[in-house]
Structure 1
């Protein structure tokens, strides 16, 4: 149970710990207290650290560093990886450029959030040779500060790169080959299985490395909790104080981390992260670039998986409505058998799906667009990124002779499940050019949905904003220039 920690060349042993332990808990229990606990839910960024892991491209191994929220990542997920915390940045008495820049630009006041900001800047430093404002905003998207107003922190990000090419390499750049070699030896492809005794009960942890091993575990154990990133499931540990008796991690399952880009469809493994899938998705549906920016902060996208977002079955999950509008299918696996279903048929009622005991999501299959399709997406939330939707809407329009031939529309936040809007599809096909499209769409939506009221929005707000988004969609389809105020605010 070994991983690399900071500048230590000798692997660190996690020790015998409860599988429900988060990375943040392990760090602070081991006196690495620079990493702070703020919200415990991935919202504030005070706990941000950086994970380095081996990726293989064209049979060549290289290491990639990504910022993550340690408050939601389980400690056993560190096995075979490189964890860098704020304690691991200095070399002797020399500050790392990410630390030095924060000092010179007065980027810290009370200091509680500072370690998280420094680690986000460190990840940016590892991955870029030059930056623009958009890239800085994305890198810092998971970090909140109530003191500085962000201007000096952004200035620190710019100054960090001013003389980067003329400065000596930092420890992690200088020792990249050595670190990669050590991680290569630590990445054991064997199935990881252990038990932890607590009082009179046993808590189990399994991390299979093949899809067959995963199938066998789920078939032979009736009470398991599958975890990929755990950006949702871990909240039950950190917020609801639950303790799972058998955790099955899918992060080592090779087949679930593959993206197959075929001639007519894309097949994305259920354990592929949003950030890893982004380039493939955006190259086929350019509109998804802005949507994925709104989806979550970078530390969440680095860790969260598309399969987990679907399996969670949240009525306000952002990606299911988009995938439903794209006519996506799910490949479900149970034992040695697989079946393929339409994603829109996966959800039954609130938090209930068609998935059977011992079954799991293997992959998501998305047909590639033809030249006559246009995907338009909307997300309504109070924060620009890293916030749950009040309403999520996706419309896939197929055209012929410069007018709509079909609409495929799906919503999140309008019912107990991510749901397709067939009545609105039929209505728009006939009335999409009506000048009173917003009020007419409201009537159709009011017949088809009974939205709930919660802390994010009222039922009436959800209906009204969805109707207005229909009008906005039609204007966008017609090529009208629609100013995106959220995007404007974010970039300026």
Structure 2
């Protein structure tokens, strides 16, 4: 077995050190099989159901430059155990026993066994029936509690729906669970002793990993050197895809190279002249928050991209490097005319995102290169942008078709068009024929119809479990019509105007 350095993290206010943890061991297997803590459940084994949700705490810096803790609910079934090295971990078994969780404003820990508000509210609102999904819901509620429950502010139904979007339940119909989310703030306040936890996490800091099976270099330079020395090591970020290779395909990896600790890749920075440079290790939640800050019309698409635990783990760079034809990030980035920056010890090179892919799961990334950054141009004053995700479920589902359309209009004429499509070809694709149909033409119903026809002729989608070829083809034309109607301000043209929360309340 490939040796690794000891895995160390904080749990229940204590330092936990584990030896000989395989580089491809999942966090869920570590909890259930190695530590025999079975409160965390295995449902789907692929990050879809949320039964395995746990919460991670990581050292960070707040807006004032002060040390702080970030709290993120993640799926433990597809997260590698070594990825939590140096962090704090909470499972459903910890909330009533962690001495660092104390009454707000008090020094003493609550009596042993005292329920956390996330647990007590689920009991009071009858949010559990068979109970299998309950540990995951409780942990998502705990993450919400840490991030949302602020004195004087209320958790809205919409916020509860978004934060619980990665958790599925067959029994309750969700209403009592939403009730529990809103009830938490009415209960006596508790808080994590962050000063004590920051001190404990600081004591875990150690130099970058050496030659062990699981490497997580702390700088871009050391990461690129490690990649040059180990071109066959499996690169991982949030493991929302590689985790499936382990749980579903039973693949094994003796050498793993984790990009998420490289400081340069963890940042979102402004580009000279405007736009954003998003590091490949920025998780999807933060990456989409940065995109939505300048393009708020993407908020609904960002929330539907995946459940929150997946967005908290998965990274934009990993999504791009993976290159799945049904991945949702790439069509949007293509429509935004984004460029991907590849890096190696030989230097960096940038290319349009759509030029990265050569075939199904194939790309131009050299053996010693990694995806380092995604550069997104600034929003134009006169652009109209929409991104559409069509799937069988409203939330937490893979797209049958993803289509992103961006037009720049000047005096009613299409000065620029960029269209990205997913689910219709072997790779994420740019719809160049449809774009050419629009550029230089007055933006009108006739132009939208012509572009829709060009879009349908440009692709020959396959039939699979998510949709038939014919359905996908018709859908492409219909989405162009929806885009036209939205651009004209037609009421009810956008599904984003439908309030799912109100329908289920």
Pick the aligned partner of 2:117 from 57, 80, 97: 97
Alignment-derived partner of residue 109 in structure 2? none
Indicate which of 156, 161, 164 corresponds to 2:185: 161
How far apart in 2 are the matches of 1:168 and 1:375? 42
Write the deviation string for residues 275-315 of structure 1: whole angstroms up to 9, x where unpaired: 12233211211111111011011111111100000000111
Tell me how far apart the structure 1 counterparts of residues 312 and 41 of structure 2 sit (CA, whole Å).
20
Contact residue 482 and residue 493 of structure 2 kept, 8 A: no
Instruction: Give, in whole Å, the separation in 1 of the partners of 2:228 and 2:9.
Output: 34
Partner deviation per Cα, 1:348-376 (whole Å, 9 max, x = no partner) = 11111111111111101111112111211
Q: Give the equivalent residue in structure 1 for 2:94.
A: 88
Query: Which residue of structure 2 lines up, in the alignment, with residue 64 of structure 1?
Result: 70
1:137-152 aligned at under 5 Å gives the runs 137-152=161-176
Q: 2:471 aligns with which of 461, 464, 483?
A: 461
Q: 1:187 aligns with which of 205, 210, 222?
A: 205
TM-score by length of structure 2 reads 0.91
Cα distance in 1 for partners of 2:14, 2:135 equals 24
Report matched runs for 1:297-316 at 5 Å. 297-316=307-326
Of 29, 32, 41, which aligns to 1:28?
32
Matches within 5 A, 1:363-402: 363-402=373-412
Query: Could you give the per-residue CA deviations for residues 302-330 of structure 1, whole angstroms, max 9, x where no partner exists?
Result: 11100000000111110111111111111
Matches within 5 A, 1:46-445: 46-57=51-62, 58-91=64-97, 92-128=112-148, 129=150, 130-163=154-187, 167-170=188-191, 172=192, 175-188=193-206, 190-193=207-210, 195=212, 204-262=213-271, 263-429=273-439, 430=441, 432-435=443-446, 437-438=448-449, 440-445=450-455
| Structure 1 residues 436 and 401: CA distance shift in structure 2, 3 A | closer
Distance in structure 1 (CA, Å) of the matches to 2:32 and 2:61 = 32
Provide the secondary structure at the position in 1 that maps to 2:384: strand
1:436 shift after superposition: 8.7
Once the 2 structures are TM-superposed, how far is the Cα of residue 214 of structure 1 from its aligned partner? 1.1
Task: Provide the C-alpha distance between the structure 2 equivalents of 1:150 and 1:435, rounded to a whole number of angstroms.
Answer: 44
CA distance in 1, matches of 2:327, 2:140: 25
- The secondary structure found in structure 1 opposite 2:479 is helix
Q: Find the aligned partners of 1:480 and 1:114 in 2 and give their Cα distance.
A: 42
SS at match of 1:411: strand
In structure 2, do the counterparts of structure 1 residues 446 and 2 end up closer, same or farther at CA, with 3 Å as the change threshold?
closer
Aligned residues: 475
Q: What's the CA shift for 1:404?
A: 2.5
Structure 2 residues not aligned, in runs of 5+: 1-5, 98-111
**Quick check: 1:224–1:247 contact (8 Å CA) kept in 2?**
yes
- 1 CA distance for matches of 2:195 and 2:77? 29
SS in 2 for 1:383: coil
Shift of 1:445: 2.6
What CA RMSD, in Å, does the superposition of the two structures yield over aligned residues?
Answer: 1.7
Shift of 1:98: 0.8
Do the aligned partners of residues 65 and 356 (structure 1) sit closer, same or farther apart at CA in structure 2, a change above 3 Å counting? Answer: same
TM-score with structure 1 length normalisation?
Answer: 0.93
